[in-house]
Amino acid sequence: MTLPSAASGFGSTRKVLLVAPVPTHPSFTGASARVRHMAEALAALGHEVHFLHLQQPLRFPDGAMREYWNDRLHVFRGLSPASCLGRARRKALRLTAKSLHLNLPVDSYFDPAAARYLTGLVARRPFDVVIVSYVFYSRLLGALPAGVLRLLDTHDVFSDRYQLYREQGQAGEFFSTGPAEEGKALDRADVVLAIQELDARHFREISRSPVAVVGHLAPPLDPAPAEDAPEGGAVLFVGGPMGINVHGVDWFLDQVLPLVRREVPGAELWLVGGIGDRIRGRPAVRRFGFVDGLGDIYRRAAVVINPQQFGTGLSIKSVDALQHGRPLVTTVSGARGLEDGAGGAFLQAESAEAFAGHLVALLREPTRRAALARHAAAFARSYYQRNLEALAGVVSGTVGR
């Protein structure tokens, strides 16, 4: 694949700082993978990339990150008494909001000490572009001097997010704020990065800032043929222990897998990642935990699934399956942001019966699996190229201004 470079019409090499509260290495979550792959894409475009990790004290070992970033890693740990007290207050506020299904002010996570650290860092090592992850850290953009291109990578939509969980009878997770508050956060950026078009439409309705769509930037891998499993095969799900994932996997185990096993008795669900800690005592399930280097487990599985029933943003686990060139069956929710690949690059189901039907056909027909895998890999190449070029245009200042 030919990558656009800084010299191919996208402007000169720039010094870029990524700011995020998640580690880039290891990248066990979609958010971590998003930041890591964005860093890799920026480097591939010829830019000098640094990373500021907004780390909670003692929460993440950073050996793997230091090995990757070397002197381009900067860490804010927030060890001052004021920072610790502020974290305790914010944690109490978040727990209350989650239990009562309430929105929070968008700046509820803001730590003034982090802003001071960023100001000092930029003064010592001037940057041309700063990309801050998440609307609830957007106030950090105010710590930057004039002339720095301020980008806000949203990752997701957080307006009234609690309602999604309440409608599904689920406990609230992560963060929820009101549309006016989210719009205030977006207005702080020179350009807002949306991870998919539906998010971009929402952001344009509530903010004056220009919005560019930059989807997930995982580079496509050279697909390898999967091992054909005798009479049945492995159905793979890779994900963390979040409630949305648990809800989707429970739905799959209750309503889909029994239908599949009537037709393909040897079929079983493989769980990789933290999700295995939340799913126990279920038949026809194998739990692998965290796996270093997912390529092998993807190759061994016959089919990859994303049974997510609700959510916002982009389901990065679906992109990862396509990136690995694997046959994917997903729900409508799991296909958000990838709709143009439905029916060609992956199979989409609107009911448990349709989901089971797709799986049975794929598990029985190796030729059909192989054809879908080829289409998945081709889609992943096109998707990556499109998003890489969008990122290049934004960082160069030629898009969204």
140-186 pLDDT, tens digit each: 999 999 999 999 999 999 998 888 777 777 766 678 899 999 999 99
- 108 and 248 both lie in a single domain: no
Distance (Å, whole) CA 349 – CA 259? 14
CATH number of the CATH domain containing 192: 3.40.50.11930
Domain membership flag for residue 8: no
pLDDT digits (tens, 9 = 90+) for 263-277: 999 999 999 999 998
Q: How far is CA 308 from CA 31, 178, 189, 248, in A?
A: 17, 24, 31, 4
CATH number of the CATH domain containing 329: 3.40.50.2000
Which candidate, 146, 145, 135, 225, places its Cα nearest to that of 183? 135
Q: Which residue range forms the structural domain that includes residue 141? A: 15-214
Average pLDDT over residues 228-238: 72
- 19 and 153 both lie in a single domain: yes
As for how many domains the chain has, the answer is 2
pLDDT digits (tens, 9 = 90+) for 307-317: 999 887 888 99
Share above pLDDT 70 across residues of the chain, in percent, rounded to a whole number: 86
Domain membership flag for residue 394: no
- 177 and 247 both lie in a single domain: no
Return the DSSP state at 304: E
- 21 and 108 both lie in a single domain: yes
Domain membership flag for residue 400: no
Domain membership flag for residue 165: yes
Domain membership flag for residue 222: no
Domain membership flag for residue 122: yes
Question: In a 3-state reduction of DSSP, which class is residue 247?
Answer: helix
pTM of structure: 0.88
What confidence tier does 3 reach under pLDDT thresholds 50, 70, 90?
very low
**Who contacts 165 (Cβ-Cβ below 8 Å, separation ≥6)?**
101, 171, 172, 173, 243
